[in-house]
Structure 1
Amino acid sequence: MATLSPYIYSANAREQADFYVGVFGGEITNVQSYGDLPGMEDSKKHLIMHLEIQALGLRFFMADAGAEANDRGTGMDLALTFRHEEEAASIYSGLAKDGEVIMPFERMFWGTMLGRVRDRYGVLWQVATEA
């Protein structure tokens, strides 16, 4: 058995992690900076080497990546599926705040709710309800 955890590279991992905790609930459970490494130059000590968020029963990882964080491509979305429509709608709205709605959160012809959004940090999300 395995678990799959998204690892999101960011231009400002701490700020982005605080945004996700605000949207998802949960908490930041681990933060390691490059300052924890012996011999790291002072100009990089404040950068996040590894951060963990526990939220929605999931674990998300993050790290600062500078300019490379903005080159996400379009080949992958992070998909969240919820049992209850109200929770899904709340998460979708939170992710969409100051982001870009790609597909409104609406009932699909197969019966579930689904929406797609690019959050303010450029991460693509699909938020859905269970069948």
Structure 2
Amino acid sequence: MTQKITPFLMFQKGDAEEAMTFYLSLFDDAKIVAISRYGAGESGKEGTVRHATFTLAGQEYMCIDSDVQHQFTFTPSMSLYVGCDTEEELQRLYTALSEGGQPLMPLDSYGFSTKFGWVNDRFGVSWQLNLP
């Protein structure tokens, strides 16, 4: 087997499916590859995501709804970096991901790119959006 690294997103409030569906709506070449859910009497809340694999722009991701509560969550120290092809794409993604979230760096020219923005979405996942 060839070694493979896949970003893995752990949600703790039953948000995995909502987040995954939201992300799928934003990116091309996006689809759910596989999803399994907790059933009645299992450790997680029935119907929530036990494990899912999905793709965004051809990149594979995994996510779960953790049935164990942790003292940590997402942090901007680890972010998903998106290279955008157009200013319109950058603006669309920034607007959608900012809704209910927290802008960390507003869209602007910071000297290292034409336009850049950084945001935590409403689920706490951090996104860097760049127009080279």
Does the pair score TM above 0.5?
yes
Aligned twin of 2:119? 117
The TM-score normalised by the length of structure 1 is: 0.79
**Aligned-residue identity in percent:** 25
Measure, in 2, the Cα distance between the counterparts of 1:56 and 1:8.
Answer: 17
User: How many equivalent pairs are there?
Assistant: 126
Are 2:59 and 1:58 equivalent residues in the alignment? yes
> Which residue identity is paired with 1:41?
G
The one-character-per-residue Cα deviations of 1:39-69 (angstroms, maximum 9, x if unpaired) are x734634231211222222222111015439
Alpha-carbon contact 2:16-2:49 (below 8 Å) kept: yes
Aligned residue number for residue 13 of structure 1: 16
In the alignment, the residues of structure 1 paired with residue 93 and residue 32 of structure 2 have an alpha-carbon distance, to the nearest angstrom, of: 18
Residues 9, 90 of structure 1: alpha-carbon distance in 2 compared, 3 angstrom cutoff: same
Q: Could you tell me whether the CA contact under 8 Å between 1:9 and 1:69 is conserved in 2?
A: no
Provide the secondary structure at the position in 2 that maps to 1:86. helix
Name the CA distance, whole Å, in 2 between partners of 1:2 and 1:88. 32
Letter in 2 for 1:116: W
1:99 positional shift: 0.8
Helix, strand or coil at the partner of 1:68: coil
Q: Describe how 1:1-131 pairs up with structure 2 within 5 A.
A: 4-10=5-11, 11=13, 12-25=15-28, 26-35=30-39, 41-42=41-42, 44=44, 45-66=46-67, 67-68=69-70, 71-130=73-132
SS of 1:114's equivalent in the other structure is: strand
Relative to the length of structure 2, the TM-score reads 0.78
Structure 1: 4+ residue segments shifted above 4 A: none
Unaligned runs of at least 5 residues, structure 1: none
